[in-house]
Amino acid sequence: MPTDPNTVRHYNTNAEQYHAHVSDPTDSTFHSLYEKPAIRAELPEFNDLEVISIGCGSGVDARWLADNGAKRVVGIDISKGLLDIAKKNNPDIEFQEMDMEHLAFADESFDLAYSSLAIHYVDDWTQPLSEARRILRSGGQYIFSCGHPIDSALEYAVEGDIRYARLGRKVNNLTNERTVYGNYLAPDSGGVMPVKVMLGDIEVVVHHRTFSKMLEQILASGFTVERLVEPQPIKGDPDHYEQLRKIPTFMIWVLSK
Ligand SMILES: C[S@@+](CC[C@H](N)C(=O)[O-])C[C@H]1O[C@@H](n2cnc3c(N)ncnc32)[C@H](O)[C@@H]1O
């Protein structure tokens, strides 16, 4: 299943709002103090490399890659609204409207593929990863971040004044009644299930998948796994630091061709 059309509509409708969010490090601390430093730490020296930013959004990462010496940066995204902002703010960078499942580039066009929090919008990674691998030169890497399945397995509930996000069980000692919270294995949908996520006021649909499904889809694309990183947050966000030290929201994959 490709990216949910409602997700694309939400990004288009709220493009300015999303761009303001990712451009303000104090607003997007899950990016600035967690995901961005973690994914950037995994990048090779990219001074002489041609880089594609897949799911580039409003171009924040493409700007960073260009400013930090990439030989050429191309950004692609499925949201025209976000791309309009990317093009307006970065006239020196090439951006194209494109679905990551069908990359309109010749084989072996890039040295490095980079993608931040975009691939989890697609339920089967085999196709977008096969495409990314096809357009990479031999030895090229694909470094991407995505939602961590511990996070997407959580179940949300409100009880009185308390909001819960929980994965586990409750057992009544007297009756032995057992209540299960959350769903990691997603048995009714073969290990992959759609999950609604609020990004501020924007509702999008991402796909939870088990670790075994991730690995199955990565290996089916032909990529080799170099490493998987479960990052630690940087101190600075008192609301989330303690949470992210112990319970992951995102993870980073480093693959090579
Ligand atoms: C959470 S945003 C991240 C944007 C950008 N990487 C950043 O960090 O600011 C996810 C992005 O993935 C894009 N996206 C989702 N599905 C896509 C697809 N099938 N092909 C290309 N882009 C896609 C969305 O339009 C959105 O820009």
Whose structure tokens read 């609020």? 198
194: enclosing H helix or E strand = strand 192-199
pLDDT score, position 203: 83
Å from CA of 3 to ligand 1 middle? 10
pLDDT score, position 250: 98
How many CB atoms within 10 Å of residue 48? 9
For 63-86, what is each residue's pLDDT tens digit? 999 999 999 999 999 999 999 999
Alpha-carbon span 206 to 194, nearest angstrom: 6
Å from CA of 237 to ligand 1 middle? 24
pLDDT score, position 199: 76
For 132, the token pair is 């990314």
- pLDDT mean by block of 10 residues, the chain; 257 residues: 89 94 89 96 97 98 97 98 98 98 98 98 98 98 98 96 96 97 97 89 90 98 98 92 96 98
- Can you say how many angstroms the Cα of residue 232 is from the centroid of all Cα atoms in its chain? 16
User: Is residue 34 exposed (0-12), middle (13-18) or buried (19+ Cβ within 10 Å)?
Assistant: buried
Give the CA dihedral 252, 48, 91, 85, nearest 10 degrees: 0
For 158-206, what is each residue's pLDDT tens digit? 999 999 999 999 999 999 999 999 999 999 999 999 999 887 777 889 9
How many CB atoms within 10 Å of residue 130? 16
Percent of the chain with pLDDT over 90: 91
Alpha-carbon span 168 to 18, nearest angstrom: 33
Residue with the nearest Cα to atom 4 of ligand 1? 57
What are the start-end ranges of the E strands in 29-186? 50-54, 72-77, 94-97, 110-116, 136-147, 155-159, 162-166, 168-171, 178-181
Residues with CB under 6 Å of ligand 1 are 3, 11, 22, 55-57, 60-61, 77-79, 82, 99-101, 116-118, 121-122
Domains and CATH numbers, the chain: 5-149+207-256 (3.40.50.150)
Å from CA of 56 to ligand 1 middle? 6
Which SS3 state, helix, strand or coil, does residue 59 take?
coil
pTM for the structure as a whole: 0.96
Alpha-carbon span 202 to 68, nearest angstrom: 31
Q: Are 100 and 79 in contact (CB under 8 A)?
A: no
- Ligand 1 pocket mutation, candidates 78, 102, 122, 127, criterion most atoms within 8 A of CB: 78
52-to-59, 93, 193, 200 alpha-carbon distances in Å? 11, 11, 28, 27
pLDDT score, position 230: 98
Sequence-ordered alpha helix ranges (H) in the chain: 5-13, 15-23, 29-30, 36-41, 60-67, 80-89, 126-135, 149-152, 211-220, 241-246
Alpha-carbon span 170 to 180, nearest angstrom: 7
Alpha-carbon span 18 to 202, nearest angstrom: 8
Å from CA of 209 to ligand 1 middle? 18
pLDDT score, position 198: 83
Q: Are 204 and 217 in contact (CB under 8 A)?
A: no
Cβ neighbours of residue 233 closer than 8 Å, sequence gap 6 or more: 33, 34, 240, 241, 244, 245
Å from CA of 99 to ligand 1 middle? 9
